[in-house]
Structure 1
Amino acid sequence: MRRDAVTKLDFAVCARDHIFGADTARLTLVQYGDYETQACDQAHVLLKAALECFGDDLRVVFRHFPFNSHRFQAQRAAEAGEAAAAQRRFWEMHEVLFQNRTRLSDRHLRLYASHLGLDMPRFNRDMAAQTHVVRVREDFLSGVRSGVNESPAFFINGWRYKGPLDVASLHSAIEDVAEVAI
């Protein structure tokens, strides 16, 4: 990974983040993304392949970045992800939201929550009260402070990845960082 093509992650990974993978992983990939864009859907597939390839050496962090004000459904989907997280079901909802990225109306979000077995009165209260708007905004602002202006955006061990969104390029960048992380 070329250092001239990177910037540093401004907000370090911490307990508030949604982390998938081993705590002992020596590689951390932070993604800023949303649930509505095709590019983020493609990135989701890439990250699943990276997790399979790198195993316990890699953990993935997802942060919300519904950057376009016209993407109301992406914002609401992010809030639904957080409402599921409040019930310890973030990653299950995360997967469902990507599988249904063209169907993110409030009615659909409630349906997904119900299928996941979430406490529906609690989920509905959280969504109606916009309980998780602040959390989504904090993720968004941490991305802005790190130079993110589109989604998806990736940081590998704190360094911005600006390469192509394909398996070979992303894996090569992860391997480059892995050599330094030994």
Structure 2
Amino acid sequence: MNMLSVPVSADDHVQGELTAPVVLVEYADYQCPYCGEAFSLVQRLQQRFGDSLCVVFRNFPLVQSHPQALPAAITAEYAASHGKFWEAHDALFRNQQQLGELVYRELMRELGLPEDGLAAAMDNPANLQRIQRDVESGMRSGVSGTPAFFINGRMFQPQRSFEELYDAIVEAGGNQATR
């Protein structure tokens, strides 16, 4: 079984407490339809498990298949530099079918961020390095496609559907689910 090669740290995009009984790391691509499907499930899991679940997002844009995956990831990283990663993350997945410059500019307006800063962010090597660091950590951990999940450091591969994440989280110690 594959293990997470780069431990979760404060450098990651984290929702919840890293000390939660269950830490779910997701490698994802904003344009991947399966990641879009997993997005709504992860949100439901967060509601269901509350403080028992910590969610970590890492970029894994599949640029060969999804031409908007990298610009979307850069948009999210730009928002992160202003403390608004999760708002951008959620909006990008909600608008997955329309990803492109118009969506990114509208998102900047909604988040109150300067649009000209986004243009500069697209060419900022620091954003590409951040995304590449996520991709490389995923590859070292055995990620070959998206979405890829790790529960408490162990890769989890659903056999039939993403819904299997629920049972895996309970098994990993997230049995303090809120009702």
Q: TM-score, normalised by structure 1?
A: 0.89
> RMSD between aligned alpha carbons?
1.7
Helix, strand or coil: the match of 2:68?
Answer: helix
Aligned residues: 174
Helix, strand or coil: the match of 1:72?
Answer: coil
Instruction: Kindly state the Cα deviation for residue 91 of structure 1 after the two structures are TM-superposed.
Output: 0.2
Letter in 2 for 1:118: L
Letter in 2 for 1:106: E
> Which residues of structure 2 form unaligned runs of 5+?
175-179
String of CA shifts for 1:36-83, please: whole Å, max 9, x gaps: 111001111111111111110101000001124232201110011000
Q: Distance in 2 between matches of 1:166 and 1:154?
A: 10
> Which residues of structure 1 form unaligned runs of 5+?
1-5
- 1:13 is aligned to 8
Residues 68-147 of structure 1 aligned to structure 2 (within 5 Å): 68-129=63-124, 131-147=126-142
Letter in 1 for 2:87: E
String of CA shifts for 1:91-121, please: whole Å, max 9, x gaps: 0000100011111212321221112111333
Q: Which segment is superposed worse, 113-122 or 70-79? A: 113-122
Say if 2:127 is the partner of 1:155: no
Moved segments of 4+, more than 6 Å: none
Q: TM-score, normalised by structure 2?
A: 0.91
Instruction: Kindly state the Cα deviation for residue 142 of structure 1 after the two structures are TM-superposed.
Output: 0.5
Q: Distance in 1 between matches of 2:91 and 2:125?
A: 20
Match of 1:166 among 162, 166, 177: 162
Q: Distance in 2 between matches of 1:148 and 1:44?
A: 18
Contact 2:151-2:172 at 8 Å conserved across structures: yes
